[in-house]
Chains A and B, each alone.
Chain A
Amino acid sequence: MQPDTFFRRRRLQSLLFFVVILSVTYGSIVLTQFDVVRGLLAVPQAFAWAVVNFIPYERAWSRLPNILSKLQETVLVAIASSTIAAVLGLGLALFGANTTRPHPWFSLPARAIASVFRNIDVSVWALILLFSFGQSGFTGFFALFFVTLGFITRVMIETIDEVGVEPIEALRATGASYGAIISQSVIPSCLPQLISWLLYMIETNIRSATLVGILTGTGIGFLFDLYFKNFNYGSASLVVLVTVAAVLLIETVSNAIRRIIL
C-alpha cells in the first residue's frame, strides 16, 4: 500500500466517523422533538433565574446555625460509618486475600459478601433499610456502612495480594503465629493504603449522606429537601454551599494526610 493511499483511507475513516456521530445526534433530536435553538437560548435565562432565586438572602443566613448543626450530624455519621466499615473491611479482606486467608474456603464467601454490599447502590440500601430502621440516623448510617464495607474489603484484598507473599513467608519461617504475621507484617504494609482509601470513602460518604438524608429524612439532606419543597430556594442553596465547603475542607485535610503517610 502506498503512503498516499494509507492517508486517504485514514481521512475517509475520520469523515465516516464524523458523519455517523452527526446523524445519530440529529436522529435523537428529531425523535425527542428537542428544539435546539430554544434550548440553548434558555440557558442564560436559567442562570439568571438561579442567581435571583438561589442567592442566600438574609433570612436564609439566620438559619445557618441550624444548617451547621445538621451538617455536623451528617459529617459525623459519614465518618463513623466509614471508619467502622474500614476496620471490619480490613478483617474481611484478610479472609478474602489469597496470601492471608486462613483456609482457601474463606476466600469466596468474603469476596461474595464484599461484592453484594458494594454492588447495591447506597440509595437502594437506604430504601431497603427504611423498612428496618424507619426514618432515623441508623438507616443512613447502615446504608453508608454497607457500601463502604464492600468497597474497602474489595480494595484491601487487592492491596494485600499486591504486597505479596514474601514477607509473610519470611515470618512463617521464623515460627511466628498467624496473628503475629498479620499484625507485624501485613498490617504495617497495608496501613497507608487503608487510611488513604478510608479518607476517600469519608469524602464520598459525605456527598452520599446528603442524598441518603433526602431519602431517610435525616441530617443535611432532610434540611435541603425541606427548604427546597417549601420554595425556600435561598436556604436550600445555602445548604448546598455549606456542604460543598465542608467537602472541600475535608478533601484538603485528607490530601495533606495522604502526602504525609504515602
Chain B
Amino acid sequence: MSLLELHSVTKRYGAETLALNSITFSVQSGEFVAIIGPSGAGKSTLLRCINRLIDVSEGDILFNGVSVPKLRGKELRHHRTQIGMIFQHYNLVNRLSVLENVLHGRLGYKNTFQGILGLYSQEEKREAVRILETLGLYEQMYKRCDQLSGGQKQRVGIARALVQQPKMLLCDEPIASLDPSSAKVIMDTLREINRTMGITVLVNLHQVDVALHYAERIIGINRGQVIYDGPPHALSNAQIYQIYGSEAGELILDLKERYAA
C-alpha cells in the first residue's frame, strides 16, 4: 500500500481560478520526491492540501489508508501530527527560544489544557534536545530565534517537524531564502533524514538543478497539472522547458552540466 495517494485532486479558488487540476499520483513510504514548477503552478497549494491547511474542492487524498478530505476535529489534528512541515520563511515564533519552538512540534499530541499551558513531559524535552544535538544546534538551544542565521532557523524548523515523529515531511521551498552553502546543509540534512530515518520527503523546489541532484523522483507541475512524473535521469531538457512553459534558452540553467554536481 502506498503511504500517500492522490486521486484527481482539484482545488478551485472562486469560480474561475483552478489552482490544482485533477492531480493524481502516489508516493511510497521512504521516497524522496521533488516537486518542480514555475511560481504559481500550484506547488504550495498541493502540499497544503495534503495536511489540510487548505481544503480540496474535489478528489480524494489517502494517507496511510485514511481519506483526508473529510477529516474533522480530533482526527484531523491526529492526521497532521503524522506529517511534519517545513516552510520557506521558517515560520518560527521569533521571540521564543529555539527549544520552545522545537517543542511546538509536540502540541498536536496535547489536549487543549496541556496545549494552552505548554506542558511538555521530561521525555519530550529530552527528545527535543537530542534532535537539536544531531542538527548541530545544541549551543543555540536557549537563544531566541531572531538571533539565528537563516540556515540555523531552517534547521530549527526541521527539528520542530522531526519532534512530531512524522511519517512524512512536506517541505515548501525550504532553501528559497538561503545562501548556497546553507541551502546545501539543509538539503543534505533532508536526504540524511530520508535515508537514515526512513521518513518520506516531499519537497517543493524552484531550483531544477537541486531537484535533479537530490531527488529520486521528480514531479513536474504547470498550471495545476502534472506534466512529468518519473526519475530525474529520464527528464529531458524539452520536458523541463515544458514544465516551466518557456522556450529553450529562456531559463537560467546550465543543462549541459546538470549531472556534474
Point out residues on A near B: beta carbons under 8 Å. Answer: 166-167, 169-177, 179-185, 188-189, 191-192
Q: Measured between alpha carbons, how far is A172 from B108 in the docked complex, in Å?
A: 8
Name B145-201 residues within 8 Å CB distance of A. Answer: 157, 160, 164, 170
Is B226 close to A, CB under 8 A? no
Q: Are B80 and A172 in contact (CB under 8 A)?
A: yes
Q: Min CB distance, B257 to chain A, in Å?
A: 36
The contact sample of 6 A-B pairs, CB cut-off 8 A, is A166-B89, A173-B51, A174-B160, A175-B76, A189-B93, A189-B94
Q: Which residues of A contact B69 (CB under 8 A)?
A: none
Contact indicator per residue, chain B 71-109, by CB within 8 Å of chain A (1) or not (0): 000001111110111010111111110001000111111
Q: Which residues of B contact A192 (CB under 8 A)?
A: 95
Q: Which residues of B contact A183 (CB under 8 A)?
A: 115-118
Most interface-central of A169, A172, A174, A176 (chain B CB within 10 A)? A174
Point out residues on B near A: beta carbons under 8 Å. Answer: 51, 53, 76-81, 83-85, 87, 89-96, 100, 104-112, 115-118, 157, 160, 164, 170
Q: Are B108 and A174 in contact (CB under 8 A)?
A: yes
Q: Which residues of A contact B94 (CB under 8 A)?
A: 189
**Taking chain A's interface residues, is the majority helix, strand, or loop, or is none over half, making it mixed?**
helix
Q: Are B51 and A188 in contact (CB under 8 A)?
A: no
Q: Are A174 and B112 in contact (CB under 8 A)?
A: no
Q: Measured between alpha carbons, how far is A166 from B44 in the docked complex, in Å?
A: 14
Q: Are B83 and A177 in contact (CB under 8 A)?
A: no
Q: Min CB distance, B148 to chain A, in Å?
A: 15
Instruction: Say whether, besides A183-B115, A183-B117, A174 and B91 are in contact (CB < 8 Å).
Output: no
Of A173, A177, A184, which is within 8 A of B93 by CB? A184
Q: Are B107 and A175 in contact (CB under 8 A)?
A: yes
Of A175, A179, A180, A189, which is within 8 A of B80 by CB? A175
Instruction: Say whether, besides A169-B87, A188-B96, A189-B93, A174 and B107 are in contact (CB < 8 Å).
Output: yes
Q: Are A175 and B77 in contact (CB under 8 A)?
A: yes
Q: Are B79 and A167 in contact (CB under 8 A)?
A: no
Q: Are A173 and B83 in contact (CB under 8 A)?
A: yes
A-B complex: 5 closest residue pairs judged by Cβ atoms: A175-B108, A180-B115, A175-B80, A176-B107, A170-B91
Of B81, B90, B92, B118, which is within 8 A of A175 by CB? B81
Q: Are A169 and B53 in contact (CB under 8 A)?
A: yes
Quick one: closest A residue to B94, CB to CB? A189
Q: Are A185 and B160 in contact (CB under 8 A)?
A: no
Quick one: closest B residue to A174, CB to CB? B108
Q: Min CB distance, B43 to chain A, in Å?
A: 16
Q: Which residues of A contact B83 (CB under 8 A)?
A: 173
Q: Which residues of B contact A171 (CB under 8 A)?
A: 104, 107
Of A166, A182, A185, A189, which is within 8 A of B104 by CB? A185
Q: Are A184 and B91 in contact (CB under 8 A)?
A: no
